[in-house]
Structure 1
Amino acid sequence: MHPENSRSSADNSQIGNGTPETQNGAETRAAVPPSELQTERDGQRSCSATQQHYSLKPKESETDGQGVHWEAEGKPHPEDSTVQLMDTAGSDKHPQTGPVPTAPSGHQGQGFVPPEGGFGWLVVFAATWCNGSIFGIQNSFGILHMMLMKEHQDTTDQTSQFRVAWVGALAMGMIFFCSPVVSIFTDHFGCRKTAVGGAFVAFLGLLSSSFATTLGLRYFTYGILFGCGSSFAFQPSLVILGHYFRRRLGLANGVVTATSSLFSMGLPVLLKKGAEPLGLPRTFQILSLFMLIQSLLALTFRPLLPPGGSTAEGAGTEGVTEGGGAPGSANGGWWRRNMLKLRRYFNVRVFSITTYRVWAFGVATAVLGYFVPYVHLINFVKERFGDTKWEWVLLVCIGASSGAGRLLFGKVGDLIPGVRKIYLQVASFMVLGLMSMMIPQCRVFEGLVVVLVFMGLCDGCFITIMAPIAFELVGPMQASQAIGYMLGLMAVPMTAGPPIAGLLHDYFGNYHVAFYLAGVPPMVGGIVLFFVPMAYRRLQGRQGEAADPGSDPGAEPGADHMLKNCSNGDMLPGYTDMEADI
């Protein structure tokens, strides 16, 4: 064999193992037995056939960080003999090559270790201020409602309670209604930009409410602007905690939710003793300072991971050519990328889970009368007990007992396995409905305090146990969007409840019928939720029998079942996996 031909043949045979042929290789090759040469030729033909299904993976830069150079058209530099192949035909087989440069992992949570403190405690303080400011203002709306009634009440209008109640109901409803959209913004723009923008919009809403002179304008400034801004500021404050804590995430969430209850206790005192004598415009201006401070504190929401949208784009478009089309298709790549984004952001697969559907619609039914006491309680006290000067104490009792309930039932929920946690929510809704019906029966002020303490405990239980139930029903990969969709479903009944109660007051002249009927939806929702664990076990039993005929149909699903899709590393709150089946 001629030495030049021997070198050329050896170079071709070494593509993929990165071992250049030396000068002595030709002489060694000439001594190879014919049977081995025939095997090598067969391997070359197999490699040629394999190349029909594989194409070179283009790189943007000239080097990939491991010494391999690539040209713009996706071919390796002539001086290198290592070729990285990728499957463009959808094959699951891997090319039989030698050392191939490996790209960095595209999954955001893989191998990530949060700091578990340090700067994270400043983030906890900012999240506490955010939660406390938003829900402290919302839970204190009973005082604002009374001030709005004094300013906008018309003795000739028989629907004044109905019209004024829409101000606070819109603000609370928009917080939940915007939740699915906030999830998209948080994934795409990150926690810091979303939270800063939302807090500033909420600040503008409260500030502009101080200059509004008509009720219709306050629907927009307080109800829409403040409500939407609060939603965009609130949700990232919970997501960002997962960037700084994992082992102490429960502690961080407990500090945020429990400490924020102090705002619900302190703001009624501030509004009644400090802001109310100054008038409604000054009150809105004082409240706007809380959201202005939050827009500055939200700058601390520095994400330790990139937004989720980049992962979907990078991972989902692999194998798509620069021109926007997949190999062999002009528009396939563009359509594929956009469908990937659309399905990732609007993942409605959670509604295919029967138990989740029942749970979500049961909770949405229960909250129809949920916000009624927060809006109409102060006016009810003035009608029942006159001007006692102590009605603000009732709101403080709700805030304090709600904080205690979050700590208590958060710990109790950790001790209850699986979907049996729903029974806590069932009990909270049943007691909440009963206590709402008991409000008109209270003849003394102290009795009303006891009723509201129980309502606050039920409120804390309902809020604390919501996320763990979502994780049990849909798994960790879809829990974030499952919660977002459920909050969106809660928006309409929660918004409609207070105006309906106001309309009933205007029609009957008192709040008796309004509070009686407000207690019915929570009890109906509790009855619906009671059947969710039984349906869940029955469905899991059927799946277990199909997978393993010898398994126990009544057994709880194990971790292997719940976490079977967790293949992309550790999960963080607010992070959603891309569609693996596209």
Structure 2
Amino acid sequence: MAPQQPSSIEEQCEPESEEGEKLGPPSDPKHPAYNAPDGGWGWVVLFATIIVLALTLAFPSFIGIFYVDLQTEFKASNSETSWVPSIMTAALHAGGPLCSVLVERFGCRATVMFGGVLSGLGMAASSFSQSIVELYITAGVITGLGFCFSFQPAVTILGHYFVRRRPFANAMSSTGTALGLSTLPFLGDYLHKELGWRGSFLVLGAVLLNCCVCGAVMRPLKPRKAKSNTPKATKEERPKGGFLGIFKNLTSSLRRHMAFDLFCSNLRFRVFSLGITWMMLGFVVPLIYLVPYATSDGMDPSRAALLLSILGFVNIIVRPPIGVLFSLSWFKGRHIYVFSIALLLNGLSNNICCINASFPVLLMYVLTYGITMSVVGSLMFTVLMDTVEMSRFPSALGLLSIMESVTLLIGPPLAGVLVDRTGVFTYVFLVCSISVTLSALFLMVSFYWLDRRDRLQKEKASGSPAKPAVTLSTDCQYSTVPTNGDKTNT
């Protein structure tokens, strides 16, 4: 009989014995097949993940360099133009369940490589677009889905390669976003001057093909030899019968790849998911509108692009020591509070842009925003791993990505409508400040209440009269307990 298909990302990465038996998730150190090196080839996988994140998560943020050209070419408003990075970012997150299906069928390595091909072709095809709608499909949907297929499996397989050093590995991998923010604006500005927006999109499509190279080195973990008494899996019975069968297959796939049960049963995961979804409404919008805001006030486009690069360099410098710091045992159980405080400061930093659009003021803004963004980016996956079991992390990440995609999709266009109607960019940064600040307060207060509730429940349980306290009376007489060969008492 054919072996049963794995049902999730972590099962796809599970090794098998020579007899074809499942040995369990490699991220479980108690399992005999556990072979997470916390180093070795894991460092190569970490480096590849950094490059993948640089080419995917950071990509939509620097599209603002081409805003004026796109508006002129297609005679589009700010709101219409902002849909391009918005759809791209939303597709990057919303494709999580489909990405899980591909990983289930083809594996992490092949899915990352396929994502590189898809994003490269989508970006290259966008250079031939004749309308803004065609740009939505090519640069938005196709390229965004390619980013998703490269990003999520890379993060997941990294979690299997690192266990003891996982906070440090997550912090280091998050520097990929910073690396992209620091280098892509320079590349985009240079290509924009030399080739225009169409030539730039064509070259950027070729650059995105490097995700294929990164995916090629993400080899599955090799199992240790171990015997298992578990019988071999039989072929999975699939429901039959037209539309009903397709519907059952779809619902079964959603149960496997979406953590709906976890969302209903785990209150901490539910609070964290709602808080992150709220946060994303205004978290990335300032990055998209920073360059248009600066150039609208007469700043040279090259200096405006330099601001994004400085933001990236700040993240590169700050994130590695943050990863080492937050790996200390003192921060265990406190990651969510550090995350919330950093998010609160990040939201308040957007008010700096309301002063004026001069280079010194915006430089102060990107420095403040960059430091707080480094903490938020370094701890986001760590907090999620602290909230759910690692075996449920891929499905939890898939559901969280779907929820994020909604606010990521509507955030930039709503900001564009605000700019079109008022003609003032500072309102965008003010609204983003309010949104992010409130989400930070929501997370902080909610988790404090949950921790306090759990602490009171533990104290109540420990103080229950289930086991009466043992008291010793002073007038008790001592007597020996008879043993073999001793039948007298004293």
Shift of 1:104: 5.5
Distance 1:372 1:104, change over 3 A: closer
Q: SS where residue 203 of structure 1 aligns?
A: helix
Q: Which has the higher helix share?
A: 2
- Decide which structure has the larger Cα Rg and report it: 1
Shift of 1:243: 4.7
The residue correspondences of 1:539-558 to structure 2 (distance < 5 A) are 539-541=453-455, 544=458, 548-550=462-464
Task: Give 2:45's aligned residue.
Answer: 123
Shift of 1:467: 1.9
Task: Give 2:257's aligned residue.
Answer: 345
- The answer to whether the Cα contact below 8 Å between 2:45 and 2:158 also exists between their aligned partners in 1 is yes
Task: Give 1:481's aligned residue.
Answer: 395
Q: SS where residue 209 of structure 2 aligns?
A: helix
Shift of 1:205: 0.6
Residues 405-414 or 222-231, more deviating: 405-414
- The answer to whether the Cα contact below 8 Å between 2:310 and 2:366 also exists between their aligned partners in 1 is yes
The residue correspondences of 1:299-310 to structure 2 (distance < 5 A) are 299-304=216-221
Q: 1:138 aligns with which of 34, 57, 60?
A: 60
Distance 1:253 1:291, change over 3 A: same
- Identity, in percent, stands at 25
Give the distance between the partners of 2:105 and 2:348, measured in 1 at CA.
Answer: 43
Q: 1:384 aligns with which of 285, 290, 297?
A: 297
- The answer to whether the Cα contact below 8 Å between 1:108 and 1:305 also exists between their aligned partners in 2 is no
1:470-517 CA distance string (max 9 Å, x none): 232233332332233222211111221111111111101121222211
Task: Give 2:198's aligned residue.
Answer: 281
Give the distance between the partners of 2:236 and 2:188, measured in 1 at CA.
Answer: 60
Give the distance between the partners of 1:530 and 1:248, measured in 2 at CA.
Answer: 26
Q: 1:168 aligns with which of 76, 80, 85?
A: 85
Shift of 1:549: 4.7
- The answer to whether the Cα contact below 8 Å between 1:435 and 1:455 also exists between their aligned partners in 2 is yes
Q: 1:398 aligns with which of 293, 296, 311?
A: 311
- For structure 2, list consecutive stretches of 5 or more residues without a partner in the other structure: 4-18, 224-228, 239-247, 466-490
Q: 2:277 aligns with which of 341, 346, 364?
A: 364
- The answer to whether the Cα contact below 8 Å between 1:205 and 1:222 also exists between their aligned partners in 2 is yes
Distance 1:296 1:443, change over 3 A: closer
2:136 matches 1:222: no
Give the distance between the partners of 2:221 and 2:298, measured in 1 at CA.
Answer: 54
Shift of 1:189: 2.8
2:418 matches 1:501: no
Q: SS where residue 370 of structure 1 aligns?
A: coil
Distance 1:475 1:378, change over 3 A: same
Q: RMSD over aligned Cα, in angstroms?
A: 3.3
- The answer to whether the Cα contact below 8 Å between 1:405 and 1:459 also exists between their aligned partners in 2 is no
Distance 1:412 1:296, change over 3 A: closer
Distance 1:340 1:444, change over 3 A: closer
Shift of 1:393: 1.1
- For structure 1, list consecutive stretches of 5 or more residues without a partner in the other structure: 1-58, 62-101, 155-159, 307-313, 326-335, 552-582
Structure 2 residue identity aligned to 1:394: L
Distance 1:117 1:382, change over 3 A: same
2:207 matches 1:290: yes
Task: Give 1:195's aligned residue.
Answer: 112
Distance 1:215 1:244, change over 3 A: same
TM-score, normalised by the number of residues in structure 1: 0.67
Shift of 1:115: 4.5
Equivalent pairs counted in the alignment come to: 430
Residues 252-261 or 455-464, more deviating: 252-261
1:291-312 CA distance string (max 9 Å, x none): 2222233222221269xxxxxx
Q: SS where residue 369 of structure 1 aligns?
A: coil
Task: Give 2:349's aligned residue.
Answer: 435
- The answer to whether the Cα contact below 8 Å between 1:265 and 1:400 also exists between their aligned partners in 2 is yes
Give the distance between the partners of 2:417 and 2:303, measured in 1 at CA.
Answer: 26
Structure 2 residue identity aligned to 1:356: F
- The answer to whether the Cα contact below 8 Å between 2:123 and 2:138 also exists between their aligned partners in 1 is yes
1:104-155 CA distance string (max 9 Å, x none): 564243222235555444433332221112234222122122332232235x
Give the distance between the partners of 1:544 and 1:278, measured in 2 at CA.
Answer: 65
Give the distance between the partners of 1:223 and 1:323, measured in 2 at CA.
Answer: 36
Task: Give 1:533's aligned residue.
Answer: 447
Give the distance between the partners of 2:340 and 2:415, measured in 1 at CA.
Answer: 24
Higher relative contact order (CA 8 A, sep 6+): 2
Task: Give 1:448's aligned residue.
Answer: 362
- The answer to whether the Cα contact below 8 Å between 2:126 and 2:139 also exists between their aligned partners in 1 is yes
2:436 matches 1:522: yes
Structure 2 residue identity aligned to 1:375: I
